Amino acid sequence: MSQSKPTTPTEVRQRAAVEDKRRRRKARAVPGRLRPKLLLGLYLLFVLLPIYWLMNMSFQSNTEILGGLTLWPDNFTLEHYTKIFTTEAWYMGYVNSITYVVMNMVISILVALPAAYAFSRYHFIGDKHLFFWLLTNLMAPPAVFLLPYFQLYYTVGLFDTHIAVALAHCLFNIPLAIWILEGFMSSVPKEIDETAFIDGYSFPRFFVRIFIPMIRSGIGVTLFFLFMFSWVELLLASTLTSTGAQPIASVMTSTSTASGIDWGTLAAAGLLTIVPGILVVYFVRNHIAKGFALGRT
Amino acid sequence: MNKVYDNKAWLLILPMLALVAFSAIIPLMTVVNYSVQDVFDANTRFFTGTEWFVQMLNDPALQSALLRQFAFSLTVLCIEVPLGIGIALLMPKKGWQASAVLILVTLPLLIPWNVVGSIWQIFTRGDIGLMGWGLRELGYEYNITRSAVDAWGTIIIMDVWHWTPLIALLCYSGLRSIPEAYYQAARIDRASRWAVFRFIQLPKLTNVLVIGVLLRFMHSFMIYAEPFVLTGGGPGSSTTFLSQSLTTMAIGQQDLGPSAAFSLIYFLIILLVSWVFYTAIMNMQKDKEGGA
Amino acid sequence: MAEITLRQLAHSYLPSPSGPEDYAIREMDHVWHQGGAYALLGPSGCGKSTLLNIISGLLEPSSGEVLFDGERVNSLPPEQRNIAQVFQFPVVYDTMTVFDNLAFPLRNTGMSETQIREKVLEVADVLELTPQLKRKAKNLTADEKQKVSMGRGLVREDVSAILFDEPLTVIDPQLKWKLRRKLKEIHRRFNITMVYVTHDQLEASTFADKIAVMYEGQVVQFGTPRELYERPAHTFVGYFIGSPGMNLLDVSVKDDQVRCGEVVVPVFPRVRDIIARSSSDNIRLGIRPDFVEVFETAQEDSLAVEVVNAQDLGTYSILTLALGDVTLKARIDEDQATPKGKAYIRFPQARLGVYIDEYRVETDHE
């Protein structure tokens, strides 16, 4: 049975030829690479259509919106945008949101960097439990913390300040940042640290000059996530503020009045909340593909 | 990686710990404190032990909210995970198209959650929304304020719209980390498209999928703003999920004791499910490594 | 089982290449005969892997033809060419067992399980993978993984050829030697055409019957290891093969004498004529360090040199010599005394090669 040389190469070749023809015929039946593109196109349509609709409405006057369905604005108007940019309550909503998001990003990354380094490089008493506990904070529903936060921040006099929201968002953003950064840091070989210390670098200098540049893309991705989760969160942000630091998300509820909903302004305000996200994702687009796996592939 | 045993590492942890303790431990203690007391006013309170917990666990409204919550989380996971993998496989890998598609796909993730609700509220209204209007034109009596089925369906579509990108991006980056040689070897071995997916791509996606499923489970289990804006929990209580029940109880009715007990139960359920899922996956991988 | 012919083959990764330097493969003709054991040798970036990927069908060449047994296969994808390729870094299907990994290419062709089993066990036996057959491929060591990768190529006995792309890079040195012998054994047993890409001349010469040396996208010489050593067809081959590489002296003819700088190098008259007739200003004489004769006293036709450095390598020494402004290497055996300061060298005329514009010119020694 075990011939060391195949005795029927022609037969084998014929079979392969038949097989090849069959394959090629099969390959032709599907119209090339068109189908994947079509499917992806359909999905993108699904993603964009609701956003397009929002944009469509934001450029229509309320009478036009309620007057009947139009696929694009017949009487293009910027009145809603003008209103948002000229009314202090409206534009301050954006300023407030951006303020606490940036504060939160800065705080989170500053404390998460050394902590993630500790987790990725050292064993210490209680390290595993601590890490697990941190992750459980990611799982805490904001609704659970609503009331205690309200009371806590009221007591310490931080209610209705930007820092209150920034600190509250630390609840889930710091653990998230540590988790992501730890993944990236662990993929940097430890020899780098050792070499630097032998070369006489002090820890802070090594950390800032050598280590942080090495995990640049990790930090970029982390900041992206921090932005994302702080920017989109509303429950805590609106509970911890009233008028002084009100986020845009809660200003938007003011479009709903006794006389009905101001659809146009709601749409315009909603569309404007998407803009910062687009800017952020545009800046990190080249890191996202690699970084989204959080250093864990 | 070989880690060094050094308790000085705690110094690096401290700033973080102080902050997280402030925003996690103190509030959590407050919750625990409330959950075992009946508070009338600042000076009058009684120790109630496990009474609130028992009451909450036996509350039919919460039980059905919990069931709805599980049904919802399970449904969206079952749709979003396969769909996300599919999208990731379809996304272009190079050139400007890759960047463009990447940005478009990420878009829904960066929209504030209540705005997501607003977008879908506008989109699905029968009078001014493209989808609501379109469905009616097609002859379907679509009405999310009356039909529980419509409301459910819409919330699920909204969640799929909102969160499938997360799974897709995780998988996309997982796929990108597969060296070209694997695909080349598969071609040489004459592997079918399915075999390439089954034996090369899927194994590389396991890690990111575990992360994705965990994140999706946690977030879908905490969902609040989107259904609140879209349906307000209705019709009836057909789309009232746990977070909404909780906020109504804590803020609306000021039932501090029961809502604190409820909070803890809620939190523990998420912890438990996540832990079970994670441990199960880890054990499965260990079994695999052990070999037959 | 096939004879692989490359006809006027060229490849560029650029869509519209403008000059020869834009080509990864410059126009070439080449034939790999059925059943041969070949090595493709060259430095990194010379186009070896590109050429291999063109043969296997992973790349479609920009121009020219790839023929398998005279049949044009240019646009056939690898799965239709019936070819096996082993890559530099091990590729295993992590979730499968070693057995399933080896069986995978066969299962894809729809072979019966009994036949598959037989083939897999045979190959596993040759590669000494039998004890690991039931283990998950994921948990193997790097060399075991690479053996599995090779095994997947070797199970397919009907393949046109097996291509190896530096397959032993990740393997430990002792095992390398063993695996190379295994490959040779397999080659003898199955009589399959094998092309082995490497940048290591030792690996190439122990594996292959004939070596193709690649340089800047071209095969500059195709011959047995001995031919490459004794009669390099291109200055690059002289430099790349052997350690240290060949000595190359820039020469010109002045006053009817071949000179290197001001030093007169004695050569056969017909060699001198060739050099004198050439219009090129890139003419060099090449001689291997081991062929340079070194004396302590002046001999007939010898040239005086300065000994710059002597490096003792155990059974032999390498001398660095200065001939005028030119530096030369010479190799002497351990029993010969190492000269100091001044020495005399002689180039045996039969060993002297003439290179015009980098290529060797046949001088027909008798």
SS (H, E, C) C71-128: EECCCCCHHHHCCEEECCCCCCCCCCEHHHHHHHHHHCCCCCHHHHHHHHHHHHHHCC
pLDDT for position C44: 80
Q: Which of A125, A209, A135, A231 is nearest to A178 (CA)?
A: A135
* φ/ψ (deg, to 5) at B201: -75, -50
Boundaries of every domain in chain A: 9-58, 83-292
**DSSP collapsed to 3 states, A119-185:** HHHEECCCHHHHHHHHHHHHCCCHHHHHHHHHHHHHHCCCCCCHHHHHHHHHHHHHHHHHHHHHHHH
B&C contacts, CB < 8 Å: 67
Cα–Cα distance for residue pair C355/C362, rounded to 1 Å: 9
DSSP B179: -
Q: Tell me, what's the pLDDT at C99?
A: 92
Confidence of residue B161 (pLDDT cuts 50, 70, 90): very high
pLDDT tens-digit readout, C210-230: 899 988 888 888 889 888 888
Residues of C in contact with B189 (CB under 8 A): 104-105, 108, 152
Mean pLDDT value across residues C308-319 = 86
Average pLDDT, rounded, for chain C: 84
The pair of structure tokens assigned to C120 is: 């897999």
> What pLDDT score was predicted for residue A228?
87
A102 band by pLDDT with thresholds 50, 70 and 90? very high
Give the pLDDT band (50/70/90) at residue B43.
low
Nearest to A2 among C1, C122, C191 (CB): C122
Mean pLDDT within C150-157 = 84
SS3 content of chain B, % helix, strand, coil (to 5): 75, 5, 20
Query: For the residues B70-81, what does the mean pLDDT come to?
Result: 93
Kindly tell me if the per-residue pLDDT of C102 is higher than 70: yes
Strands (DSSP E) along C175-315, which ranges? 193-198, 210-215, 218-223, 247-250, 252-254, 257-260, 263-264, 283-287, 293-295, 303-312
Q: Which fold has domain A83-292?
A: MetI-like fold (1.10.3720)
**Superfamily the domain B60-291 falls into:** MetI-like (1.10.3720.10)
Please list every residue in chain C whose beta carbon sits closer than 8 Å to the beta carbon of residue A16: 82, 158
- The predicted structure's pLDDT at residue C166: 86
Instruction: Look at residue C366 and tell me whether its pLDDT is greater than 70.
Output: no
Portion 139-158 of C in contact with A at CB < 8 A: 157-158
CA distance A95 to A77: 24
**What percent of chain B has pLDDT above 70?**
94
Mean pLDDT in residue range C245-253: 85
pLDDT for position A6: 36
For A14, the token pair is 């014929």
pLDDT in tens, C65-98: 888 888 888 888 888 888 888 888 888 898 888 9
Residue A275 has pLDDT above 80, yes or no: yes
CA distance C312 to C331: 10
For residue A232, is pLDDT > 90? no
> Pick from A57, A167, A276: which is nearest to B23 by CB?
A167
More confident residue, B34 or B165: B165
| pLDDT (mean) for C302-324 | 86
- Looking at residue C110, its pLDDT comes to 82
B217 neighbors B77 (Cβ within 8 angstroms): yes
Structure tokens, B234: 């209705």
Domain extents for chain B? Answer: 60-291
- The 8-class DSSP code of residue C194 comes to E
Q: Which residues contact A27 (CB under 8 A, 6 or more apart)?
A: none
Interface test with C, best of A10, A20, A28 (most C CBs within 10 A): A20
pLDDT at A107 exceeding the cut of 90: yes
**What integer best gives the mean pLDDT of chain B?**
82
Residue A112 confidence (pLDDT): 93
Asked if the Cβ–Cβ distance from A249 to B107 is below 8 Å, we say no
Beta-carbon separation of C190 and A12 below 8 A: no
Of the listed ranges A16-20, B208-212, C167-171, C244-248, the least confidently predicted one is A16-20
Task: Examine the pLDDT at A63 and tell me if it is beyond 60.
Answer: yes
Is the pLDDT at A108 greater than 90? The verdict is: yes
**pLDDT value, residue A18:** 57
> Which residues in C lie closer than 8 A to residue B185 (C-beta atoms)?
85, 87, 91, 149, 152
Which residues of B touch chain C, with CB atoms under 8 Å apart?
179, 181-182, 184-185, 187-192, 195, 199-200, 203, 288-289, 291-292
pLDDT of A5 > 50? The answer is no
What's residue A104's pLDDT?
93
Q: Which pLDDT does position A9 carry in this prediction?
A: 45
pLDDT surpasses 90 at B40: no
| pLDDT the model gives residue C177 | 82
